[in-house]
C-alpha cells in the first residue's frame, strides 16, 4: 500500500484517453490498493487511474453511502435517467468548483479486480461521481460539463 501523487490540471495526461485493462494480475491489484489509500488520504469520493498518471480504465469510488467502496475496471454507463445540477469539484482541480449538468440516476457495468462483470446503480452524489470518474477515462474534466449559464468558481485557499 502506498500513496500516489495526484496530477493536477496543468498536466497534459489528464486530457488523454485511458486504455482497456486486459490483465487482472497483481500489478492491477497494487494499483487498486494504492488508489484506495490515495482516495481516502485526499478525502475524495472518487479517483481515476489517470489522475495518478496511469492511463488505464480503472476507477475507485466511495461516496459514503450503502454502495461502500467500489472498484470499477473497464466501466461503462448502461442507463441514465433524469437530470441534476449540483456543485462539483475534482482532486485534480484544487480550489475549483462548478455546477454541472449530470443525470439524476445511472446504472453501470464494470469488472472487479478478478475480471468478473458486475452492475450497480445509484442516484444523487453516486451518479455524479460515476459520471465524473468515467469522464476522466475519456480525458474530460468537470469544467467541460458545466450546466448552462454556470462558470468555474475559484476559492481563495
Residues designated as active site:
133
**Alpha carbons 112 and 114: distance in angstroms, whole number:** 5
Q: Any residues with CB less than 8 A from the CB of 75 and at least 6 apart, and which? A: 57, 59, 108, 109, 110, 130, 133, 134, 137
SS3 144: helix
Query: Nearest approach, Cβ of 52 to Ni ion (angstroms)?
Result: 12
Query: Nearest approach, Cβ of 136 to Ni ion (angstroms)?
Result: 6
Q: Within 48-67, which residues bind Ni ion (CB under 5 A)?
A: none
47 is a site residue for Ni ion (CB under 5 A): no
**Alpha carbons 16 and 140: distance in angstroms, whole number:** 8
Residue 11 or 24: the one with the smaller Cβ distance to Ni ion is 11
Query: Nearest approach, Cβ of 105 to Ni ion (angstroms)?
Result: 20
Q: Which stretch binds Ni ion (CB under 5 A): 9-17, 29-37, 85-93, 105-113?
A: 85-93
Residue 24 or 54: the one with the smaller Cβ distance to Ni ion is 54
**Alpha carbons 89 and 51: distance in angstroms, whole number:** 14
Q: Which of 39, 60, 70, 90 is the binder for Ni ion (CB under 5 A)?
A: 90
Is residue 92 within 8 A of residue 112, CB to CB? The reply is no
Residue 42 or 147: the one with the smaller Cβ distance to Ni ion is 42
Which residue ranges make up the site for Ni ion (CB under 5 A)?
90
Amino acid at each position: 500500500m502506498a500513496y500516489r501523487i495526484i496530477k493536477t490540471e496543468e498536466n497534459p495526461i489528464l486530457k488523454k484517453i485511458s486504455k482497456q485493462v486486459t490483465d487482472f494480475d497483481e500489478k492491477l491489484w497494487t494499483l487498486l490498493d494504492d488508489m484506495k489509500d490515495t482516495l481516502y488520504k485526499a478525502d475524495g469520493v472518487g479517483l481515476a487511474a489517470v489522475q495518478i498518471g496511469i492511463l488505464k480504465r480503472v476507477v475507485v469510488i466511495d461516496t459514503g453511502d450503502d454502495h461502500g467502496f467500489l472498484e470499477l475496471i473497464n466501466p461503462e454507463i448502461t442507463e441514465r435517467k433524469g437530470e441534476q445540477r449540483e456543485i462539483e469539484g475534482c482532486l485534480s482541480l484544487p480550489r475549483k468548483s462548478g455546477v454541472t449538468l449530470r443525470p439524476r440516476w445511472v446504472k453501470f457495468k464494470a469488472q472487479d479486480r478478478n475480471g468478473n462483470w458486475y452492475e450497480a446503480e445509484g442516484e444523487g452524489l453516486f451518479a455524479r461521481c460515476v459520471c465524473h470518474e468515467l469522464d476522466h477515462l475519456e480525458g474530460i474534466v468537470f469544467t467541460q460539463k458545466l450546466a448552462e449559464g454556470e462558470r468555474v468558481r475559484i476559492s481563495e485557499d
